[in-house]
Structure 1
């Protein structure tokens, strides 16, 4: 117990001094739970030792690997516990702090906004404002909601004409997944600047509402205090924050979510308990029938999925959605050979109730809602080096265009039938 008290004191002193938490010697283990008891045990560990044992990839179902970050102080005990339970594991990341130290380029230039480095929330928002000036008549700034700490969920609308169906692009709902807002901002630039005729024919057929950071409080916290932070920043009992992608009001908390406030998958005290999800949902509802497509971007695992994340519900157009993601994954792989797994959320990864894309389809009635888990498959995890921002964005945008092309084709076919 003494070493835990010492650690807490050191952490408090570090935060008081304004220094981000360090993860020296923290390892990420890939663990293989083979039954429901293994899954339950791993979840109990992360809830009990939430300062020292943290999921990178959840343990939700048997026979699907989980990635678990463990502090140096608990590694021996963790491995002994796994051995007693008969669970196999391997070291996937030797030292998390080394990944963090090497995540960004040594020479950090801020002369202009670009994609050779990650950007703070203020830098992203300033860039969004500049686009409204540079592309007046095409780009307008929008506010999609607000946060517990009083920030705005900032975004832009891109429109090349009237009467177009609307696409919402959601980034950064999980704070530590930096590649998401980075890629989303790259998409914005490509939509505005591409001279490729095939790209232009697709993007100018839609109105885009694009929000690089839908969890601004959490994102700021990953820069100032804890690079591994995932949740919102609203206080709860012993711990802070809820998982904003388990908090939406569609089959809320039924499965794949936690009622324990210290859990990374804590669903909140009730559906839409988080001001971020509540206000963003109100903005989305206000788009009415114009909203046709919802695209959400996460990391990591290289997955492209569609609703639902609850076992009890199957999309009525699941066959169509499966065809769309299969084609999109093939297109994505063309540029760099990156392989994605596709399917419904339940089939491709694990049950996860209360997600934004489930709500967009189940509550708003959208027929086209998709979520990407971007690079990689665990070598870097959430700490993807900045030199992978551009290739990740390029291949992902190829798949986005494929999805939107199929949506347009389906819309035209429907009009012809009527």
Structure 2
């Protein structure tokens, strides 16, 4: 009885902000290894280790394309980890020696002199303040919308950019996973370009479509990743049956929920789907809002990191493909080719989530595709391939944004040419 009271008290204190200034989680000498997986026994072992997220945190899950896993290991468990790898014959390569050093370097990035820019990462309040300035500066073509409130009571805000009425709509959801800061940075840059760029191809994007963009969807988790734990991924709603907090929002939608081991039932797992679909107020709010405007948009995009992937449905199975899969592949080829042709020569792999990456059920993109019948939906996994992982240096923000714009121009053009818009 006492433990329940203590747990409830902690929840109340956290929601009241009393625990807000608790010390940040540090990752001194935590290391990230890239593992080469050769068989199902090895993969099963890594999946079991990943359930102990405090010790072994999977950054990038196994995929059929690379047959690799990126996993972060605590220094206290490193010797045991290396012994296990040796016993199971798993080859590894150190990719990040000290995660905390990357985090520290990220925090000391140069600030734009008093103005919002894209040389650093910003907290939620700063992003919302920037949005307010956008609304006041461009009142004729922008409109604020809110899909609702998070578990901790924060507004989940979005922006609509429209240069006319009844134009085809494109919806972008960003930062559903809290630690993926490059996503909201890229989303705010993209908003700014739609409003300010004079490049012909960007003006065509801005003027031809209505854009609905949520720069930070997982607002509670995002705030927590800035204030307490840089590598926090999930939402922040507690569970009655576990001390572990939060749900993977991108496994919580009511589309093939929990099918084919595409999510975890363990509340402590990073891919915990929740006990039921839409258990999180954030995902329920988004699904309700999308349903009300389902006739106003044709394309749905979800911004993520990392790995450099463009992923289409299905996520729940690699044995079936959508009827328009060949068209989705054409769109993906246009996207990846446009990015490859830039000076950075960055490689993006495209295909269905389950066939080229891994089975992931209950995602937002799959729900929109399957339940709202929007036949063009993609998850974009931004830079990089593991050198920095989730802690992508601020110096790479603009390069990532340039790649996003090149890819978006090509993606929308091909989608339009194929008759989906």
Aligned to 2:409: 401
Give runs of aligned pairs for residues 17-416 of structure 1, distance below 5 A: 18-47=22-51, 49-59=52-62, 64-109=67-112, 111-236=114-239, 237-254=242-259, 255-311=261-317, 312-335=319-342, 336-411=344-419
Mark the runs of 5 or more structure 2 residues left unpaired by the alignment.
1-18
Change in 2 beyond 3 A, CA 1:63/1:155? closer
- Secondary structure in structure 2 of the residue aligned to 1:117: coil
Q: For the residues of structure 2 that align with 1:310 and 1:342, how far apart are their CA atoms?
A: 16
Mark the runs of 5 or more structure 1 residues left unpaired by the alignment.
1-14
What is the Cα deviation at residue 379 of structure 1? Answer: 0.3
1:110-149, CA deviations, whole angstroms, 9 ceiling, x for partnerless residues?
A: 6111101101000111111111111011001110232111
Q: Would you say the 8 A contact 1:39–1:60 is kept in 2?
A: no
1:83-120, CA deviations, whole angstroms, 9 ceiling, x for partnerless residues?
A: 11221111111100011111244443461111011010
- Secondary structure in structure 2 of the residue aligned to 1:337: coil
Q: For the residues of structure 1 that align with 2:20 and 2:164, how far apart are their CA atoms?
A: 51
What is the Cα deviation at residue 408 of structure 1? Answer: 2.1
Q: Would you say the 8 A contact 1:36–1:62 is kept in 2?
A: no
Q: Would you say the 8 A contact 1:19–1:225 is kept in 2?
A: yes
Q: Would you say the 8 A contact 1:21–1:226 is kept in 2?
A: yes
1:246-289, CA deviations, whole angstroms, 9 ceiling, x for partnerless residues?
A: 11110011132100000001011111111111101110111022
Q: Would you say the 8 A contact 2:110–2:119 is kept in 1?
A: no
Aligned to 1:10: none
Q: For the residues of structure 1 that align with 2:377 and 2:64, how far apart are their CA atoms?
A: 24
Q: For the residues of structure 2 that align with 1:63 and 1:134, how far apart are their CA atoms?
A: 46
Q: For the residues of structure 1 that align with 2:206 and 2:65, how far apart are their CA atoms?
A: 41
Q: For the residues of structure 2 that align with 1:252 and 1:304, how far apart are their CA atoms?
A: 22
Q: Would you say the 8 A contact 1:243–1:265 is kept in 2?
A: yes
Q: Would you say the 8 A contact 2:65–2:356 is kept in 1?
A: no
Q: Would you say the 8 A contact 2:312–2:351 is kept in 1?
A: yes
Aligned to 2:6: none
- Secondary structure in structure 1 of the residue aligned to 2:404: helix
Q: Would you say the 8 A contact 1:103–1:385 is kept in 2?
A: yes
Q: For the residues of structure 1 that align with 2:169 and 2:43, how far apart are their CA atoms?
A: 40
Q: For the residues of structure 2 that align with 1:105 and 1:394, how far apart are their CA atoms?
A: 23
Q: For the residues of structure 1 that align with 2:206 and 2:169, how far apart are their CA atoms?
A: 11
Q: For the residues of structure 2 that align with 1:141 and 1:243, how far apart are their CA atoms?
A: 26
Q: For the residues of structure 2 that align with 1:293 and 1:63, how far apart are their CA atoms?
A: 28
- Structure 1, 400-409 or 204-213: larger mean CA deviation: 400-409
1:283-305, CA deviations, whole angstroms, 9 ceiling, x for partnerless residues?
A: 01110222200011111101111
Change in 2 beyond 3 A, CA 1:80/1:61? farther
What is the Cα deviation at residue 410 of structure 1? Answer: 2.6
- Secondary structure in structure 2 of the residue aligned to 1:265: coil
Q: For the residues of structure 2 that align with 1:379 and 1:224, how far apart are their CA atoms?
A: 24
Q: Would you say the 8 A contact 2:175–2:217 is kept in 1?
A: yes
TM-score by length of 1: 0.92
